[in-house]
Amino acid sequence: MSENKFGGVLPKCIGNLSTTLTTLVIEGNQISGEILEEIGNLVNLEALAMRANHLSSGIPSNLGNLQNLVILALRRNDLQGNIPPSFGNLTKLIELYLSENNFQGQIPSHLSNCRSLIFLDLANNNLSGAIPPQLIGLSSLAIILDLSHNHLTGVLPIEVGNLRALTALDISNNLLGGEIPDSLGDCTSLIALIIGGNFFHGSIPQSIRSLGGIEEMDLSRNNLSGQILEFLTIFHSLKVLNLSYNKFQGMLPCEGVFKNATGTSIIGNNELCGGLPEFHLPNCIFKGSKRRKTNIMILSISVIFGVLGTSLFLALICLFRLKKKVNKPVSSLTNDSHSNVSYGTLLKATDGFSSMSLIGVGSFGSVYRGILEGDGTIVAVKVLHLMRRGALKGFIVECEALRNIRHRNLLKILTVCSSIDYQGNDFKALVYQFMDNGNLERWLHPNTTSSHRNELPKKLNFIWRINIAIDVASALDYLHHRCHIPIVHCDLKPSNVLLDAQMVAHVGDFGLAKFLLGSSPNILANQMSSMGLRGTIGYAPPEYAMGCEVSREGDIYSYGILLLEMFTGLSPIDDKFGDNLTLRSFVMAALSERALEITDHILLLERESRFDPNSPESNDIFQECLVMVYNIGVACSNEVPIRRMSISGVANQLQKTREKLFALGFQEQDELP
């Protein structure tokens, strides 16, 4: 029944089918709900394939009753939870496909009981922990073992050498470390070896020379070092070699695969030299030249010392003392005074991550207010929910983004914590500068923000809203056009706009951010691709739902919706907006005669208190400023990306609006809300 348009959920009567049924295939449909336990009654099934549906929830453990299964294909669904240990009962299983789901926890070692398994695909899940040695050593695996795009940690077990019949091994984009084991050279049938995007260090083992039939080798984005081994040039089958973003050094060979500049990538290895001109590497300096230069240098230094004598000696002493004072270790990401914050420090700072310290909950983490011991710094601690799919990748992306950006309207990170809690679980947190006035969501919708329902209503006047809008536009302009590597935020919304004590806006939460340049040294842009639709419903641009690449224009759409929300006081997912009405169309219908009717009542009260009703000129200018703002929001949220305003144009128009407000008597120093 595959490749149809069947929808709904599986009927329970499926368990009443004949127990002699051997094949059940319903792939490529639109079936949702859970995998029924009743399927476990079909004890003679040999093939069960439900790939590419919308199945959710966990896998019932009684699927382990299907001990005649040869093929089990459940990839490309929304399945979650742990892989059942009962799968170890499927001893006749030959092919197991579980990729592109949301499975969590560790890979069960019981899968090693499936001693007929030749094809295992667990890629693109949320699996963590170490690779079970029993599984990696399962000698029956002869086609593909794909564990890529998970959160696996630890080392690559030496038992990998048992995979002598395996043709493709992919463990890329995990958190594996240590050295590449020599036993990998025993996998003599390998055609593809993909281990990029991990933390392997050391040199390429000499044993790799045994992989004479290798066609594709990807060792990129690790911490590998040493010289590139000459024997790679004699791999006549090798067509694709990716060694980029490691720490290799020395001369690049010119033979074999290294003759093919399109099939070989070595970028990001700053200490390589030589090679074909297409690689654009510097010329190598040979030892003889080095020796002559060294002799000349020694002679020159001797002459200098002879001439300068005591003066140079004293100068060196002064420089040494100065260096001792100023040469403190600096982190490219964290504030020096708060480096290396431990789990225990954050636990104490937040009173044990108590509910009283909780100030917000997001998709990937909870945010707590904390006070650091010692200097008493008040901080915001974002603790990652690591069991949620995408949380760890979001953490890595946010660290990488914040490492590269500095702007007054971007949330400042003080440090990070990557540790283990007192129960032995992974713990990761980001520590930010505390924002005294919370997020913009609390000011726009104080009565619906669940964690702050007892607060007095927030009141943002016209000038503060304009100031915040200009601050956010400035932040986007910096991210899009003034960063060394342009960044798309991908999740701009009121809860991600933070306000400090002076009501200056700071854009935060870069967990979904993407670096625009695909050729940049940043490797994280593509690692997020498995997270699905970027952004939040109501703020994400329509083209993202159709599979288009993220873009600056996508952020501008989100900004336009944010701007309309700031001045109408209505959320884009308000109940009044049904299938045929959106916040944008609601505002467009009111322009320009009914602009006051759709405006937040707080701004209307401000208008009444500021202006004499008998002064139509002031009221007209007030309404004109509102219309200017609404026009900007509508232009930014155009459904066609190329028709959206530029962010620099937005900032210019808002500044003109603010000048009109100043002329009406509004002041930048208006009392803080």
Residues with catalytic function: 491
- CB distance 30 to 55 below 8 Å: no
- Three-class DSSP labels, 330-380: CCCCCCHHHCCCCHHHHHHHCCCCCCCCEEEECCCEEEEEEECCCCCCEEE
Distance between first and last Cα of the chain? 62
The Cα 209–Cα 63 span in angstroms is 43
The torsion of the CA quartet 52, 53, 57, 61, rounded to 10 degrees, works out to: -70
Residue 304 CB neighbours (<10 A): 11
Angstrom CA distances, 197 to 125, 148, 232, 318, 484, stand at 16, 9, 21, 45, 22
- Three-class DSSP labels, 250-308: EEECCCHHHHCCCCEECCCCCEEEECCHHHCCCCCCCHHHHHHHHHHHHHHHHHHHHHH
- CB distance 43 to 65 below 8 Å: yes
Residue 362: what residue type? G
SS3 86: helix
161 conformational bin, left if phi > 0, alpha if psi -120 to 50, beta if neither: alpha
Chain centroid offset of residue 97 CA: 25
Helix axes 647-663, 462-477, angle to 10 degrees: 160
The Cα 472–Cα 665 span in angstroms is 24
Chain centroid offset of residue 119 CA: 29
Q: What tokens does 177 get?
A: 């470390």
Q: What sections of 454-582 are H helices per DSSP?
A: 462-477, 542-545, 552-568
The Cα 118–Cα 484 span in angstroms is 46
The sheet with strand 102-105 has its strands ordered as: 80-81, 102-105, 126-130, 151-153
DSSP 410-467: BPPEEEEEEEE-TTS-EEEEEEEE--TT-BHHHHH-TTT-GGGTTSPPP---HHHHHH
Q: What tokens does 211 get?
A: 């992989």
**Phi, psi angles (nearest 5°) of residue 310:** -60, -35
The Cα 584–Cα 577 span in angstroms is 10
